[in-house]
Amino acid sequence: MRLHRNLVFAVIDALHMIFNEGEYADKVIEKVLRYDKRWGARDRGFIAETTYDIVRWKRLYSEIAEVHEPYSKPHLFRLFGVWCVLRGIRIPDWKQLEGTPERRIKGRFDELSKIRKFRESIPDWMDELGEKSLGSELWTKEIAAQNQQAEVILRTNTLKIPKPQLKAFLTKEDIATEFIDGYPEALKLVERKNVFVTEAFKDGLFEVQDASSQLVAPFLEVEPGQRVIDACAGAGGKTLHLASQMQNKGQLIALDIYESKLKKLKKRARRNGVHNVETRAIDSTKVIKKLHNSADRVLLDAPCSGLGVIKRNPDSKWKLEPEFVDRIMGVQQDILQNYSKMVKKGGQMVYATCSILPQENSDQVKNFLDSENGKDFEFVRERNVFASETGFDGFYMALLKKKS
């Protein structure tokens, strides 16, 4: 591979903004990709993937390169030098990369790879929490799987098109996809491409949604004509899926504490041809009270640590703090306690997270079922989805039924 100076400089700029200025990797990449309109798909791919790679392996590369925060420009070039050597890319003869110690880098890599927190490039606290929560064997496998680059998965919008036709439509747009066993609406991209510029996307024929996330809406067992509440709807990834499962019939109420996210949801709903959704921002407890005992189905896609989706958000390894995990667990139990009141007798509720920690998952459900509000509910089933088993995101979902 021949390295182009302006592309590498864009990567160094991006790393500076992410590591030193605390900006989010996806936003930064969007920003640097606007530097030069002449960059083609391959150039853009290089910038995005190299930046994500160095973000993913920040701790390991920093130990190897013996650099630390805040990273000066020469430090960032040393990280880049490590990336080149470990990928077998010839170091160009630029002054910024002069004297890159190739043999020493390989030696340090072999040495550090014996220790999980360095090999997998994670903070000490996260390694300790993962091992304590999942046991050494599962955590070791899981964190290794979470460090693999995420594949691009699409969910067919069955309100508009059947999956085989979508596949054919995308082939015409030069996007090759394949089916995935066990995921009835999913298509996996054979090669990473920007799907947001396709006609199929603009026509609302699909959404980008990880395969594990596609398991959540069907877990709630919705039917056309029901009243369904998506209580932590965000920008609506699962709301849209619920709407397609309801065949656009019935009432779908999308709630969130952020109006801005619900605005995005509405825009996506229009593109998807979804007509049965209404949004309500939770700006007081009244919003929930008004809906007490009214819903056939309630989805609680709760805020969480995101420890199941590190492959999609590698910078969360450096942004997440143990105090946040403790705090969000309190929010999760509040959501279970208060929002479960919206389910009517005989109705069903799914509690889901994109975390793999039992403290955020089955323990929360158990604590809820043991509480006063939980007495009205019975446990139906749960599913723990691990990246190390499926290759997709880590997820948890539990189905509860309100007694009649």
Ligand X SMILES: C[S@@+](CC[C@H](N)C(=O)[O-])C[C@H]1O[C@@H](n2cnc3c(N)ncnc32)[C@H](O)[C@@H]1O
List, by residue number, the catalytic residues.
Answer: 354
**Which of these ranges, 141-149, 185-193, 219-227, 228-236, lies near ligand X under the rule CB under 6 A?**
228-236
Whichever of 15 and 153 has its CB closer to ligand X, that residue is: 153
Give bridge partners of residue 348 from the DSSP assignment: 297, 401
Whichever of 64 and 265 has its CB closer to ligand X, that residue is: 265
Q: Should residue 303 be labelled a site residue for ligand X when binding is judged by CB under 6 A?
A: yes
Q: Should residue 261 be labelled a site residue for ligand X when binding is judged by CB under 6 A?
A: yes
Q: Should residue 235 be labelled a site residue for ligand X when binding is judged by CB under 6 A?
A: yes
In order of 55, 80, 369, the CA distances from 74 in angstroms are 17, 10, 55
Q: Spell out where 223-272 has E strands.
A: 227-230, 251-256
The pair of structure tokens assigned to 308 is 């199941």
382 and 168 Cβ atoms separated by less than 8 Å: no
Q: Should residue 65 be labelled a site residue for ligand X when binding is judged by CB under 6 A?
A: no
**Which of these ranges, 18-26, 42-50, 255-263, 343-351, lies near ligand X under the rule CB under 6 A?**
255-263
- Sheet containing 377-385: give its strands across: 277-281, 251-256, 227-230, 295-301, 343-353, 395-402, 377-385
Binding-site residues sit at 256, 283, 301
Q: Should residue 237 be labelled a site residue for ligand X when binding is judged by CB under 6 A?
A: yes
146 and 310 Cβ atoms separated by less than 8 Å: yes
- Report the b/e string of 196-205 with b at 16+ CB within 10 A: eebebbeebb
Q: Should residue 320 be labelled a site residue for ligand X when binding is judged by CB under 6 A?
A: no
Contacting ligand X within 189-218 (CB under 6 A): none
Among 16, 58, 167, 238, binds ligand X (CB under 6 A): 238
**Which of these ranges, 158-166, 199-207, 234-242, 307-315, lies near ligand X under the rule CB under 6 A?**
234-242
Contacting ligand X within 334-363 (CB under 6 A): 335
d(CA 188, CA 14) in angstroms, rounded, equals 28
In the complex, least distance from residue 248 CB atom to ligand X, rounded to whole angstroms: 18
Q: Should residue 117 be labelled a site residue for ligand X when binding is judged by CB under 6 A?
A: no
- Report the b/e string of 152-190 with b at 16+ CB within 10 A: bbbbbbbbbbebeebbebbeeeebebeebeebebbbbbe
Binding residue count for ligand X, defined by CB under 6 A: 17
DSSP string, 18-67: IIIH---HHHHHHHHHTS-TT--HHHHHHHHHHHHHHHHTHHHHHHHHT-
Whichever of 130 and 303 has its CB closer to ligand X, that residue is: 303
In the complex, least distance from residue 46 CB atom to ligand X, rounded to whole angstroms: 29
In the complex, least distance from residue 163 CB atom to ligand X, rounded to whole angstroms: 20
Whichever of 235 and 399 has its CB closer to ligand X, that residue is: 235
Residues that bind ligand X (CB under 6 A): 231-238, 256-258, 261, 282, 301, 303, 331, 335
